[in-house]
Structure 1
Amino acid sequence: MSDSGKGRGRLVADRRYPKSRATAKAAKKPVRAKAKPKKTARKRAPARKRNPIAAFIIGIFAWSWRLIWRLTSRVALVVVLILALSVGYFYTKLPDITALLDGRARGSVTLLDRNGEVFAWRGDQFGGVVTASSVSPHLKNAVVATEDKRFYWHPGIDPIGIASAIRINLREGRGPLSGHGGSTLSQQTAKLLCLGVEYDPTQWKDEAEYVQDCRRGSLSRKLKEALYALAMEVKFTKDEILSIYLNRAYLGGGAYGAEAAAQRYFGKPASALNPAEAAMIAGLLTAPTTLSPTNNLERSQNRANVVIGLMEAQDYLTDAEASNARANPARLSEAAEAKAGGYFADWVMDSGPEFFTRKTSEDVIIGTTLDQRLQEAAEQAMISVFENKVRAGSKAQAAIVVMSSDGAVRAMVGGRKTRVTGAFNRATQARRQVGSAFKPFVFATALELGYSPYDTVVDEPLTLNVPGSGSWSPQNYTKTFKGRVTLIEALEDSLNIPAVKISESVGRDLVIRVAEDFGFGNDISDTPAMALGTSESTLLEMTGAYAGILNGGSSVTPYGLVELHLRGDDDPLMDITGGIGERVIRKEAAGQLIFMMEKVVSEGTGRRARLEGRQAAGKTGTTQAARDAWFVGFTADYVAGVWMGYDDNTPLTGVTGGGLPAEIWRETMERVHAGLPARPLPMVVPEPPRRAPAPAPQPAPQPQPQRRKQTVLQQLLNDLLGGN
């Protein structure tokens, strides 16, 4: 037994068989690896001493490079970090894609004619949401080929495009960032989205100022657009970005988005566009208003040919397809080509409820009274007369209104330029003196009070004392007098003195009341000269007043709006806003007045308005110094009014109401009535007054002496002959 405590041995058994000596020695002294034989080193040539100046310069450059590298790498790291944070910021601000497709600040208005056909558009048209996959492939390719051929390859900004743009700008003598910007489709979409800033009426004076702010081209703005584009590239796919662009881009004619443009110009969906049509729409992106095909079709077609060339060069079209597209350029739809009723559409928009027309945020459909055939007739009549009967270079203007007897306006031309939008409308906005066109209201008052068309009045020199103005002596146009004339003759020849006498006889207050009830303005001057048409009215009001005569004596409110409803909702929000009102004069009196006005056309001052094989009635009007010339009249079917004059009140030369205005009226009505059967006017022919028959002539009495002498001689002769 061994003792416990110090010197206690290990509890491991000793090795039973000790190692060999060699092994032990090896363990004690490690064996060195066999050294490889040393290669004989070549003797190095002694190092040449470097030029101390060169060494110093190289050292400076090396030190500077290391410093620049350290600074640049750190700055680059900071820039990348800031860039990442900025992109992340815009990323968090981006809404869902569905909220970005329709960016209009207001809604659209589509106007339909009396047959339900579209004839005009107003507001911001948006035909509906499309996607890059739902539109015609030709349109998608045309947009990419035209606006950003590397769209599917860059990350949102295109360094190659930017460098190319800078080179072009410098070559053309502009600043590097002036002119071509090298913007990608993603950057253009960022601009269309206004970098996510929505329109706020309290921040901007109007929508135009907001849009102008969104389109600013400053360097800081372009930097923000690039960051926003990068954020979109992170959040959306390429086709989603392209879809936003296709829905938001303005394409002229009030059309926002591809669907609205396809419907506006070609009357078809964006999915059905052929290469020529797609090229035309894509070509509008650079200058939508200037290149709009409704403004200049030829210019738009030329731009489309450039786009077709780009599509062909980028293999989107084969040579045969490109040739076919050039040989068959895009044509406007019938509705777009007609550009019908610009003045009429503007009038309906101005006269309709503001919250549904000019300030609507909804898409509105308005049914109207317009007849496109009659509109074309009025426009062609205007063009024909001015081309063939008005001296070249004349600045005279004219306006035409055609309506039914209930006040439904069927056609409207507000000036010599027939197909315009937003122009001054002389049919509705110009208040002018009406001259003798006012006289029918004087005679209507007399007939209503029981006068007969065959009653007479003396056409003779007349002087009236006008309080506050002194004596006034009216004159006839011919400066002659006709003596006693019937009311028929007085109106037929537009005699001034009989009109004044009748007006004074029946009472000016009654004449004013009748005229106003028929719809003639509301500021008629209460003076003797009123009977000669010194008051002002618009052509629309005058035509409406004459419509009241045609319909039998009831007032008329001219109207163009029939019904209004929101797109997708069949229930109208409002309907007819005009029509026949209360009776003004008896039907018999109106019929007698029509009879008298027919004489004006068939035998009087309006003979140049006569229609072949059709009865017509009307009245001429010429104001003092011939500053205004009128002809307003009607058939059994339609009422039409024509005004002619200068916008600055320059007197017309050699023009009266019975001249060029009557000819414009005739040209209009002949076209309006083409193909319609002739119908008689609803006139009442009065019976001429009965006169007592003149007594039979008696032989003159013979003097008494002669009679006695003859009697004696006769008696003597009888005695000689043996008579009794």
Structure 2
Amino acid sequence: MAQGNGRKPLVADKRNYAGGKRKPAAAKTSGRKPTTGKRRGGFSLLGLFRPRKPAPRPVRKKRGPLGLLLAPFVWAFRLLWGFTWRIGMVACLLVAVAVAFQYARLPEVSAYLDGRARGSVTLLDRNGEVFAWRGDQFGGVVRADTVSPHLKNAIVATEDKRFYQHFGISPRGIASAIRINLREGRGPLSGHGGSTITQQTAKLLCLGRIYDPAEWENERAYEADCRKSSLWRKGTEAIFALAMELKYTKDDILSIYMNRAYMGGGAYGAEAAAQRYFGKSANQLNPAEGAMLAGLLTAPSTLAPTNDLKRSQDRAATVLRLMQEQGYLTTAEMTRFQNNPAGLSEAAAARAGGYFADWVMDSIPDFLGDQTTEDVVIRSTLDQRLQRAAEEALKYVFENKVREGSKAQAAIVVMSADGAVRAMVGGRKTRVSGVFNRATQAKRQTGSAFKPFVYATALELGYSPYDRVLDARYCMNIPGSGQWCPENYTRKFYGEVTLARALRDSLNVPAVKLSEAVGRDKVSRVARDFGIDSDLAAGPALALGASESTLLEMTGAYAGILNGGSSVTPYGVNELRLVADSEALMGASGGIGERVVRTEAAQQLVWMMEKVISEGTGRRAQIPGWQAAGKSGTTSAAKDAWFIGFTADYVAGVWMGYDDNTPLTGVTGGGLPAEIWRETMVRVHEGLEPKPLPMLEPAPIAPPPQPTRRERRKRQVPNLGQELGRAVDNILRDILGN
């Protein structure tokens, strides 16, 4: 009988049933369903306070020896799995939150298409053709659906062949990269990264971080920070890549990549690289050209075709093979383009403009040049035909007339009479950039090349080329230095000579005497007014070129003689403007200035200098069919040799010497420099009609008037009265003297 509190009786009823077995007590019928041996589902608060009947334990099967041996491992696996799936769920949740956060921060695609930190400078020649680039060149936005399909296919085949299948990261690629790195003896994250194009784009975007001068010392430090490789960095990069995959389409991501990737030679993006190397738009590239650009992505500076064209072509051949393996090209197409690799445009082959482009960049303000944040276009004075002429002339002379292995250097400047520089060679290595420019940076003694300014001063003061000066031993006492006696190069003296002959034969003594006669201060002033800004010697050696100057200065000064006596400022910029503007920010950076000497004096000096080439020390500079004028110069111990001269159309200057001031062997200004000058000017004047020099032959000096017959007779017949008077005077002088 049940107790009133609902609990079972402590003593069960003892009843016998047929069969000798106890029947179970009948269930109570107080409105509840009978219970069963199974546990009821659901949850009740009352169940927390009601004691429950323990569930029957399952009958365990006996384990064999193998089961006992594996039991610890099974237990460990279950424990590990329990932790793993819980931690995995938490990690996935955190990744999802991070991806959502990055997704919310991503801007529209257009904001990421041009990520340069600075602008570009495009240099045009006098005809408007591009010949050089500086800064971060960006040719314009390209998109995956408008760019050449050959470039697009080449990039995918080379950088990420499963780009259109994965979701931003490639576990297979990462595992393969780790395996290769370990096999090659590097760390798992060193070397091959296994990055997808999406991850590479994330790196190019610096994971959305913008350059801040307060955070990074300079742009180089910013870029280095963006390229760091660590486990944390890789994880952050993967999250950013996943967010990009959610935000943008595959073609959007590829477009960002093609616009921001550095492709060598200062070119950022496919359009700039296509213009830089091939002189065409990125939508016009053939498979060989597309393969070459795609091949640069691995190592843009090293593989740039302007650095090593053969190496770049070999890399492009590998890219073409990958394109064939992935079905973008047929075998016949691959073979054809491998046998006909991409070449460089004429401008690209010039290696970014060389010495001339460097000089132009140094002559403009930094905020419009190396440090510009805008895209700048400069129309320059360069004539690419004349530039090739100068380069070929220098190469010809050194290959044929200079001993093999010589370390001697040379420089050439060609300009118009108004100072517009048309060609510039700053050293024997002509296809270079960013190196020492001997035409503009080397200050060397000028030697006899300075003498025309002595004679220009004298002619301005009224001297005639036919005036005479005595070429004989001549000494001066120099305060603090003692006696100084100039000598001619031949160690001989030639007596009384005209000024014209003294300049023609480059005699030293007449030049010094004339300088002292007209005044050194006047000679210095004329030289400075003609454009020689370097410090000029204060002593009498000024007349012999003891002062230092650059080849550019000296050539510009000679241009002043050619143009009729007006100074010139050598210049290389005709116009500078921003790409987005139609009006120029700057005009010509030089040109003709104030008059220095009279036109008549300048033209008489041209006449005298023409004799130097036609009859004097500059005979080796003669140009068949052309009148030419000039002057050679050789310094003491032959450390420097010069030849500067002009025709009616162009002025050219040549310097030759060693960078360390080692004396030249057997070289004078009238020798190899004159030959380099002639070879240059012959090429410069190809196809031009000869013109006479603007020279003026001076009027001959009239001989003294001849005495008349009566005067001659008076001289022959002695005057007896005068003779008697002189005799009386002598007698009286003798008497008084005694």
TM-score range normalised by the length of the shorter chain: 0.7 to 0.9
Q: Distance in 2 between matches of 1:82 and 1:458?
A: 100
**1:406-429 deviation per Cα after TM superposition (whole angstroms, max 9, x unaligned):** 001111111111111112111111
Task: State whether structure 2 residue 165 is matched by structure 1 residue 142.
Answer: no
Letter in 1 for 2:328: Y
**Secondary structure at 1:574's aligned position in 2?**
coil
1:74 aligns with 2:86: yes
Task: State the distance in 1 between where 2:329 and 2:472 align.
Answer: 84
> Mean Cα displacement is larger for which, 631-640 or 110-119?
110-119
Looking at structure 1, the residues matched to 638 and 229 of structure 2 have their Cα atoms a distance apart, in angstroms, of 54
Opposite residue 527 of structure 2, the aligned amino acid is: A
Q: Against the structure 1 CA distance between its residues 247 and 475, is the aligned structure 2 distance closer, same or farther, given a 3 Å change threshold?
A: same
**1:381 is the counterpart of 2:369:** no
Which of 434, 437, 441 does residue 425 from structure 1 map onto?
437
Q: Which residue number in structure 2 is paired with residue 284 of structure 1?
A: 296
Aligned mates of 1:47, 1:253 — CA distance in 2: 77
Q: Secondary structure at the match of 1:478?
A: coil
Partners of 1:479 and 1:462 lie apart in 2 by 13
Aligned pairs (5 A) from 1:124-523:
124-339=136-351, 341-523=353-535
For the Cα contact (< 8 Å) 1:340–1:376, is it kept in 2? Answer: no
Tell me which of 616, 620, 631 is aligned to 2:628: 616
Measured in 1, the distance between the counterparts of 2:412 and 2:642 equals 10
- Contact 1:454 / 1:487 at 8 angstroms: preserved in 2? yes
Instruction: Work out the CA distance in 1 between the residues paired with 2:79 and 2:398.
Output: 82
Contact 1:398 1:414 in 2 (8 A): yes
SS in 1 for 2:300: coil
2:23 corresponds in structure 1 to none
Go from structure 1 to structure 2 and tell me whether the alpha carbon gap of 1:658 and 1:109 turns closer, same or farther (over 3 Å shift): same
Check whether the contact 1:341–1:411 (CA below 8 A) recurs between aligned residues: no
Aligned counterparts of 2:205 and 2:185: Cα–Cα separation in 1: 31
The corresponding residue for 1:533 is 545
User: What is the aligned partner in structure 2 of residue 32 from structure 1?
Assistant: none
> 2: CA distance between counterparts of 1:224 and 1:47?
50
Counting matched residue pairs gives 656
- C-alpha contact 2:351 2:433 (8 A) present in aligned 1: no
Distance in 1, matches of 2:227 and 2:169, equals: 18
- The CA distance in 1 between the partners of 2:364 and 2:521, in whole Å, is 33
Aligned-residue offset at 1:207: 2.1
Q: CA RMSD in A?
A: 2.2
Q: Is the 8 A contact 2:352 2:433 kept in 1?
A: no
SS class of match (1:644)? strand
The answer to whether the aligner puts 1:676 opposite 2:652 as a matched pair is no
Q: Secondary structure at the match of 1:181?
A: coil
Q: After TM superposition, give the deviation of residue 542 of structure 1 in Å.
A: 0.5
Equivalent residues in 2 for 1:76-95, closer than 5 Å: 76-95=88-107
Alpha-carbon shift at residue 340 of structure 1 (Å): 7.2
Q: Deviations over 1:171-225 (max 9, x none)?
A: 2232222211111111111111111122223333332222222222233322222
1:654 equivalent in structure 2: 666
1:643-693 superposed Cα distances (whole Å, 9 cap, x missing partner): 111111111111111111110000000000011111111111012212247
AA aligned opposite 1:298 = K
Separation in 2 of the partners of 1:69 and 1:205? Answer: 48
Cα distance between partner residues in 2 of 1:680 and 1:250: 53
Sequence identity of aligned pairs in percent?
70
Q: For structure 2, which runs of at least 5 residues remain unmatched after alignment?
A: 1-58, 717-738
Rounded to whole Å, the distance in 2 between the matches of 1:64 and 1:488 is 109
Going from structure 1 to structure 2, the CA distance change for 1:284 and 1:49 (only over 3 Å counts) comes to: closer
Secondary structure class of the residue paired with 1:187: helix
Tell me the residue number matched to 1:108.
120
Residue 358 of structure 1 and its aligned partner are, at CA, apart by 1.5
Q: Does 1:640 find its partner at 2:652? A: yes
Q: Post-superposition shift, 1:345? A: 1.0
Q: Is the 8 A contact 2:133 2:353 kept in 1?
A: no
Contact 1:341 1:412 in 2 (8 A): no
Cα offset, 1:696, TM superposition: 11
User: Is the CA contact (8 Å cut-off) linking 2:154 and 2:291 kept in structure 1?
Assistant: yes
Contact 1:402–1:641 (8 Å) recurs in 2: yes
Partner deviation per Cα, 1:329-353 (whole Å, 9 max, x = no partner): 2222233234474211111111012
3-state SS of the aligned residue for 2:552?
helix
Deviations 1:400-454 (A, max 9, x none): 0000000011111111111111121111111111111111111110111011111
Within 2, Cα distance between the matches of 1:89 and 1:431? 61
> How far does residue 236 in structure 1 lie from its aligned partner after superposition?
1.2
Question: Counterpart of 1:637 in structure 2: which amino acid?
Answer: D
- Could you tell me which amino acid in structure 2 is paired with residue 206 of structure 1? N
402-411 or 621-630: bigger deviation: 621-630
Pairwise mapping of residues 690-705 of structure 1 onto structure 2 (< 5 A)?
690-692=702-704
Query: In the aligned structure 1, how far is the partner of 2:213 from the partner of 2:617?
Result: 57
Paired with 1:88 and 1:695, the residues of 2 have a C-alpha distance of: 116
**Structure 1 residue 295 displacement after superposition:** 2.3
Contact in 2 for aligned 1:340/1:375 (Cα 8 Å): no
What is the DSSP-based 3-state SS (H/G/I as helix, E as strand, rest coil) of the residue aligned with 1:575? Answer: coil
Deviates further, 66-75 or 248-257: 66-75
The alpha-carbon distance between structure 1 residues 332 and 50, as it changes in their structure 2 partners (threshold 3 A), is: closer
Structure 1 residues without counterparts, runs of 5 or longer:
1-45, 702-724
Are 1:575 and 2:587 matched, yes or no?
yes
Matched, 1:688 2:700: yes
Taking structure 1 as the reference length, the TM-score comes to: 0.87
Moved more, 660-669 or 317-326: 317-326
Q: For 1:554-573, list aligned pairs within 5 A.
A: 554-573=566-585
Q: Report if aligned partners of 2:189, 2:229 keep a CA contact under 8 Å in 1.
A: no
* 1:460–1:693 CA distance, 2 compared to 1 (3 A): same
- Inter-partner Cα distance in structure 2 for 1:466 and 1:215: 66
Change beyond 3 A, Cα 1:320–1:692: same
Give the corresponding residue for 1:594.
Answer: 606
Contact 2:134–2:352, Cα closer than 8 Å, also in 1: no
**CA offsets 1:442-497 (integer angstroms, 9 cap, x no match):** 11101110111111111122221222222222222122211211111111111111
Q: CA deviation at 1:128?
A: 0.7
